[in-house]
Amino acid sequence: MRETDWIQRFIVPLVKARGADRLRDDVALLSADGPIIVTMDTLVEGVHFLASDPLNTVGQKLVRVNLSDILAKGAEPVEALLSISWPRGRSETEFGALMAGLERDLDDFGIALIGGDLVSIDGPLTLTLTLTGRCLMAGPVRRSGGRAGQALLINGKIGWGQIGLQAAKSDPASEAAMRYRVPKISSIFAAQVVADFARASMDVSDGLLIDAARLAEASKCGVTIALEQVPLAAETDDLAEILVQCTAGDDYRILISAEPDQNVPGFTKIGQLTESQGLQLAYNGNSVNPPSTLGFEH
Amino acid sequence: MRETDWIQRFIVPLVKARGADRLRDDVALLSADGPIIVTMDTLVEGVHFLASDPLNTVGQKLVRVNLSDILAKGAEPVEALLSISWPRGRSETEFGALMAGLERDLDDFGIALIGGDLVSIDGPLTLTLTLTGRCLMAGPVRRSGGRAGQALLINGKIGWGQIGLQAAKSDPASEAAMRYRVPKISSIFAAQVVADFARASMDVSDGLLIDAARLAEASKCGVTIALEQVPLAAETDDLAEILVQCTAGDDYRILISAEPDQNVPGFTKIGQLTESQGLQLAYNGNSVNPPSTLGFEH
């Protein structure tokens, strides 16, 4: 790898924002108007994606895991910085595939690449993206805005991450495996709904139960979830199966609290915030003991 | 490593900015007023620092390589996001040392840590910092602002990076080795001088000659350097020795162009920008052929 050549050939074509000055400078100028938020997520080969995953899908996943955080805050994505630690043994063709996947998602989601770094590594491919977002209202919708009595709601289905990971290992060509490699994430419309309706909001990435507990804790209240109301990727009446899907990570759905009388477009009510602390589960009106592991603990 | 625990114990204490919400959220709110610039640099164990380097010095180096870019643009540092890919085999004590070095430099330079990521890696320690800066004038001083006839100037001495790297390998306890591990960088005063006087400016990190050629190219002109005027870490009359110091990287000095009649505080004139393209070298009035390698080509 000659970093300068690869930057010119593969990365500069992705850079269109004026403040980036075509990567000819040490820094980029952020296009700041209105409240700007920022997130940073890293993917490591063998930890967050499989060594066998096609790199175009890895590029897309990198954008999406970061974008999901921005959307969950009621914001639209704006600009990104990309750091690539590239294993010496991987080919230029693979690098091109990574960049093609990145470009596809950056373009689809209207994100401007404005800078970053490219270095060699004697180890696993390691990717870090920093993504900024412009809030659709005065500031980000925090995890901490929930109050007892508010409804708990989620958009889309829970469990695709877990089903997809199993499929990626056993049947890599399946549709479910593709959903592991390139997770479906929320739309900018969902971000607008968050801005309009949500009191508290977060990205569900470590498992519904653990993330619901975190939202409640940040909001200094408790939470109860009616498991039969949770939309599942694999519908089932088996409580153990339901809990597996509700404790697996990589779902990238948005979990919010909202005033109880609101009809929130695209979101399904699955529970409510409570005065009593902690997480309580029910299934068809019967109390259920929370599993010992609520989700992916880093 | 339990990521959540380590974040609470080692990282949250470093996080004081309001917009970071004590890392309890998916994103941080940037404190944006005025033009905000951003840079991102990655350090990989075995590539950008030695596996034997104490991790407190690695933490300081990570801050400084990024900060040097911000200062060179005539800006003051504001906020940082940190991604750590931590090798499973390294100890908690080492993690504490890394964070102590980071905290020291973040505090010394007035930088607020506002977010980031912590993941495991089966490979070398890999660190990425994203650093924002607030411009001290209307925008960043670009590499491209130079014009033929302007003077070329540098602050401080060239060559410490090369001397320090040799020392770090042969005599790790020496003062020079310490300067490799924790490079001296420019002060906020130098950033103000850049804002006040510089037409073009950049961080010298890959070698004086290659970076001077880059500044000239970005400014669509040529550059000539009088080698006897370059302040060197190891003073010498030996032309070959001078060229070694002028083509080594890791110096983190600021290279600027300014109007020829200006007296620029803290900067030494070493050449000028020219109509004719390319890099020309002279030593005591005699033309010198540029070496085949002008600096560190990534």
- Measured between alpha carbons, how far is B167 from B174 in angstroms, rounded to an integer? 7
* CATH classification of the domain holding A36: 3.30.1330.10
**Cα within 13 Å of Cα(B108), Cβ side:** 15
Q: In terms of domains, do A204 and A114 share one?
A: no
Q: In terms of domains, do B13 and B101 share one?
A: yes
Q: Do A27 and B37 touch (CB under 8 A)?
A: yes
Distance to chain B for A19, nearest Cα, Å? 9
Out of A38, A75, A121, name the one closest to residue B44 (CB).
A121
Q: Do B130 and A81 touch, CB atoms closer than 8 A?
A: yes
Q: Do A36 and B32 touch (CB under 8 A)?
A: yes
Best mutation target among A9, A15, A24, A38 (most B Cβ atoms within 10 Å) is: A38
Out of A119, A126, A142, name the one closest to residue B121 (CB).
A126
Rounded alpha-carbon distances, angstroms, from residue B236 to B6, B175, B206, B245:
49, 20, 21, 10
**B297, part of any domain:** no
Of B135, B151, B178, the position where a domain reaches its end is B135
Write out pLDDT tens, residues A15-39. 888 777 777 778 888 877 778 999 9
Q: Do A37 and B27 touch (CB under 8 A)?
A: yes
ipTM of the complex: 0.89
Q: In terms of domains, do A11 and A43 share one?
A: yes
Q: In terms of domains, do A228 and A115 share one?
A: no
- What DSSP letter does each residue of A220-249 carry, written as one string? TSEEEEEGGGS-BSS--S-HHHHHHHHH--
Domain containing B275 equals 143-287
Q: Do A29 and B35 touch (CB under 8 A)?
A: yes
Q: In terms of domains, do A163 and A58 share one?
A: no
Distance to chain B for A62, nearest Cα, Å? 13
Q: Do B238 and B232 touch, CB atoms closer than 8 A?
A: no
- Percentage of residues in chain A having pLDDT higher than 90: 75
Q: In terms of domains, do B171 and B263 share one?
A: yes
Distance to chain B for A171, nearest Cα, Å? 25
**B293, part of any domain:** no
**B149, part of any domain:** yes
Q: In terms of domains, do B174 and B238 share one?
A: yes
Query: If 0-12 CB within 10 Å is exposed, 13-18 middle and 19+ buried, where does residue A235 land?
Result: exposed
**A295, part of any domain:** no
* CATH classification of the domain holding B213: 3.90.650.10
Of A72, A107, A135, the position where a domain reaches its end is A135
Q: In terms of domains, do A128 and A151 share one?
A: no
**B66, part of any domain:** yes
Q: Which residues of A touch B25 (CB under 8 A)?
A: 73, 140, 142-144, 202, 218
Q: In terms of domains, do B8 and B130 share one?
A: yes
**A298, part of any domain:** no
Q: In terms of domains, do B154 and B234 share one?
A: yes
The domain total for chain B is 2
Q: What is the pLDDT of residue B6?
A: 81
**A119, part of any domain:** yes
Q: Do A115 and B75 touch (CB under 8 A)?
A: no
Mean of the per-residue pLDDT values for chain A? 92
Residue A108 predicted with pLDDT over 80? yes
Of B115, B135, B155, the position where a domain reaches its end is B135
CB pairs A-B closer than 8 Å: 199
Write out pLDDT tens, residues A53-64. 999 999 999 999
Write out pLDDT tens, residues A203-248. 998 899 999 999 999 999 999 999 999 999 999 999 999 999 999 8
**A251, part of any domain:** yes
Q: Which residues of B touch A203 (CB under 8 A)?
A: 26
Q: In terms of domains, do B178 and B272 share one?
A: yes
Q: In terms of domains, do A166 and A127 share one?
A: no
